[in-house]
Amino acid sequence: MEIKVEPKAMAIKVEEKAMEIKIHRDIPEATLKKTKEEEEQPLSPAARIFHAPEFNCYVISVIGVKKKIEPNVVIEGLKQTWIRHPRFSSKMVNKTNKSKQTQRWVRTNVVVNEHIIVPDIRTQNIENANADKFLESYVSDLTLVPLDTSKPLWELHLLDLKTSDAENVAVLKFHHSLGDGMSLMSLVFACMRKTSNPDELPTLPYQNRSSSGSSRLTVGSRSGFRFLWLFTVIWSAIMLVLNTICDALGFIATTMFVMDTETPIKGDYRLSKPKRMSLVHLTVSLDDIKLIKTTMKMTVNDVVLGVTQAGLSQYIERRYKEKKKIVGDDLESKSSSHEIPKRIRLRSALLDLADMMANGSKCKWGNMIGYIVFPFSIGLQKDPLEHLRRAKKIIDRKKNSLEAALTFIVGKFMIKAFGVKVTANLINRMLSNTTMSFSNLIGPIEEISFFGHPITYIAPSVYGHPHALTMHFQSYMNKMTISLTVDSTVINNPHQLLGDWEESLRTIKTAAQERGSTHQ
């Protein structure tokens, strides 16, 4: 059954109270100047990058709730919270000052109901079996519609739609210039409350990083241990410098000429832009991931990247087999056990945001993004746990490097030295030479509600950058939601990729349990 989603929406009519504007003529000139500066702020270098035609990115998040959404309640809640933030009550304005054009955030009076969209889907006669497809089609249509720059760059869609995993659905859409994924999701969480206590903010887990071997050696070290501790510190510093230099050279090489292998999941954004993107998600048990983590003595990130490596290998293997069948090589494709070419170069631009959220740091609002070029080891393994070991080895190596900080600093320098257009082209080129994007955000550990609406899942994602595949992982309570944003002309069966990821998780979990039983 083909579902057509019409862009028509029914806006909610809410009477806005007239605002009284008081003018004080005796206000000192210095105070007026300060107020004007607060009312107008220049766009940060990263925000200007996200407005460049080569890199026009949006953040979109699908939120499932347990009850029918009451639009008026949500609107009143947003008036008390969301629009008080400067970025969500400011519009972007191009200004010319001394023959130089600049982009600035200018505070404006926000009419909340202009940003709330409630589509009239009652005429669609959607059955429960087709509700999920309708949601995917609706969100996919949103990727083709730019936000109105005459207003603050965000909108909220409230869908009276019962899907397989939610009673109703809300879809948040922001322009990426407002902030990075961590900043935006932090603001979303700040508008939510615990369902167990409506007066309390959500609680994010605190990751107590295990002390390094060097710090443990200091306890009780009086003689030989002191020398060993000093040697370890010096050696770690040397490796940090060497790793950073190697990663920096690799990053430059990727930007200039080193391209990933042309695989069935690598897109080519030089063909046409913008493109219609498809967004799908899958929710799995976070307890399964933690079980593997505990058994293998790894972190959640190690497990997630290892399972992703296994799932991608399985999916790419299937796609190569399908390609062989299409060209008529049926017998050979059936007899061959492995169809993946050897020495595939497949790398992901991994966003270094998870640690900042996990440590509960009071991070500055904005686009604080550092890129890490993460190489995946693609290939089927006899031992499923080998995917975890290889992923952990690369992660441990990347942890002992300043690649993320360096790319962030160099990016700011490039904008000042060469301008937004050149920097946007270079970032676009670097991402085009890799295959995919990957990020992992940590969410609340207990059930929360969105203005009185208990949440079942949160599925954030991003689009507009030159990748045919973007994977986002969002934890919430005892669940992990995997969100895929794909170019449907390249990956026309994203649910199969989600299925391969889920199957890889089950296989690795079984292998980890067997390993744990053997050790016991």
Q: Please tell me the total count of domains within the chain.
A: 1
13 has a pLDDT exceeding 60: no
Asked if 189 and 476 touch (Cβ cutoff 8 Å), the reply is no
2 has a pLDDT exceeding 60: no
Residue 10 DSSP label = B
Average pLDDT (501-512) is 96
Strand, coil or helix: what is 30? helix
What pLDDT score does 48 carry? 85
Question: CATH no. for residue 503?
Answer: 3.30.559
Average pLDDT (221-242) is 76
Comparing 15 with 394, which gets the higher pLDDT? 394
Asked if 185 and 62 touch (Cβ cutoff 8 Å), the reply is no
Strand, coil or helix: what is 448? strand
Beta carbons within 10 angstroms of residue 149's beta carbon: 13
What pLDDT score does 411 carry? 82
325 has a pLDDT exceeding 50: yes
- Asked if residue 197 is part of any domain, the answer here is no
23 has a pLDDT exceeding 50: no
- The tokens 């069948």 sit on which residue? 325
DSSP codes joined into one string, 272-302: -SS--EEEEEEEEEHHHHHHHHHHHT--HHH
* Sequence-distant (≥ 6) Cβ neighbours of residue 435 within 8 angstroms: 260, 263, 265, 266, 346, 347, 348, 467, 468, 469
18 has a pLDDT exceeding 60: no
- Asked if residue 127 is part of any domain, the answer here is no
221 has a pLDDT exceeding 60: no
What pLDDT score does 357 carry? 32
Comparing 138 with 270, which gets the higher pLDDT? 138
Q: pLDDT band for position 243 (50/70/90)?
A: very high
- Asked if residue 16 is part of any domain, the answer here is no
Range of the domain at 235: 224-280+291-436+477-519
Average pLDDT (81-92) is 88
Element housing 474 (H / E): strand 469-476
In this predicted model, what pLDDT tens digit does every residue of 353-379 receive, in sequence order?
433 333 333 444 455 567 889 999 998
Comparing 409 with 288, which gets the higher pLDDT? 288
- Asked if residue 119 is part of any domain, the answer here is no
Average pLDDT (175-195) is 83
Catalytic residue, chosen from 51, 175, 176, 467, is: 176
Q: pLDDT band for position 162 (50/70/90)?
A: very high
d(CA 194, CA 214): 40
- Asked if residue 470 is part of any domain, the answer here is no
Comparing 320 with 335, which gets the higher pLDDT? 320
d(CA 46, CA 187): 19
Task: Catalogue the E-assigned strands of 228-286.
Answer: 277-285
In this predicted model, what pLDDT tens digit does every residue of 298-316 receive, in sequence order?
999 999 999 999 999 999 9
Beta carbons within 10 angstroms of residue 27's beta carbon: 10
In this predicted model, what pLDDT tens digit does every residue of 418-446 receive, in sequence order?
888 888 888 888 899 999 999 888 889 99
- Reply yes or no on whether 176 is catalytic: yes
In this predicted model, what pLDDT tens digit does every residue of 136-149 receive, in sequence order?
999 999 999 999 99
C-alpha of 235 from chain center? 34
- Asked if residue 442 is part of any domain, the answer here is no
